Structure 1
Amino acid sequence: MELVEILTRQLGVQEQQAKGGAGLLFQLAQEKLQNEQFDQIAQYIPGMGELLSAAPESGGMASVLGGLASAMGAPASVGNLANLAGGFSKLGLNTSMINMFVPIILSYIQGKGGIGASQLLEQVLK
């Protein structure tokens, strides 16, 4: 998978970490977007199903913190990122890596001709 190769090369992560991290971001998009909107993104990502299944269960304290952030009126992105933190941790990745994955994935989609798709994903991830 080209996207996984780019992530491993640019971020110095292992293949499974790249798949899982990308999968977590795409899971979030799948949860937050309508099916047609997510399909606009998925068409530019060969092997989307494999990426989604490689994502670990986020859960745990990060989900609780994400829920609290949303309940307290924090911007949705704060809760989204808190939920992602648990999954990235399970992959052995520091939560700061989330912010390193996002621009690479957005650039990849945009480079494949999916300017509209990358904008949809950016709304969910930023």
Structure 2
Amino acid sequence: MELVEILTRQLGVQEQQAKGGAGLLFQLAQEKLQDEEFAQIAQYVPGMGELLGAAPQAGGMASALGGLASAMGAPASVGSLAALAGGFSKLGLNTGMINQFVPIILSYIQGKGGIGASQLLEQILK
């Protein structure tokens, strides 16, 4: 999988961490976007199903914090990032890695010709 190879090479993470981290970001996009919008992104990512399947369940305290942030009226991105943090932690990655995954994934999709798709994804992830 080309995207996974790019992530492992540029970030120095293991293959499973690259798959899981990308999967977490794509899961978030899948939750936040309409089906047809997510399909625009997925068409540029071979093996999307495998990436989504590699994402750990966030759960735990990070998920609870995300729910609390939403209940308190915080922007959706705050709760989303808290949920992502829990998933990245389960992969053995610190939360700072989220910000390193995002530009690589956006650049990958845009490089495949998915400028509109990368803009959709960017709205969710930034």
User: TM-score range with shorter-chain normalisation?
Assistant: over 0.9
Corresponding position of 2:96: 96
Corresponding residue for residue 120 of structure 2:
120
Matched, 1:18 2:18: yes
**Structure 2 residue matching 1:124: 3-state secondary structure:** helix
Q: TM-score, normalised by structure 1?
A: 0.98
Residue 71 (1) aligns with residue 54 (2): no
Counterpart residue number, 1:108:
108
Task: For 2:62 and 2:47, locate their aligned partners in 1 and report how far apart those are by CA, in whole Å.
Answer: 27
SS at match of 2:73: coil
Aligned residues: 126
State the distance in 2 between where 1:125 and 1:41 align: 13
CA positional deviation for 1:74? 1.4
Instruction: State the AA in 2 paired with 1:5.
Output: E
Rounded Cα–Cα distance in structure 2 between residues aligned with 1:71 and 1:116: 31
After TM superposition, which residue ranges in structure 1, 4 or more long, deviate above 3 angstroms?
A: none
- Equivalent residue letter for 1:63: S
Distance 1:123 1:8 in 2: 24
Q: Structure 2 length as normaliser, TM-score?
A: 0.98
Stretches of structure 2 that go unaligned for 5 or more consecutive residues are none
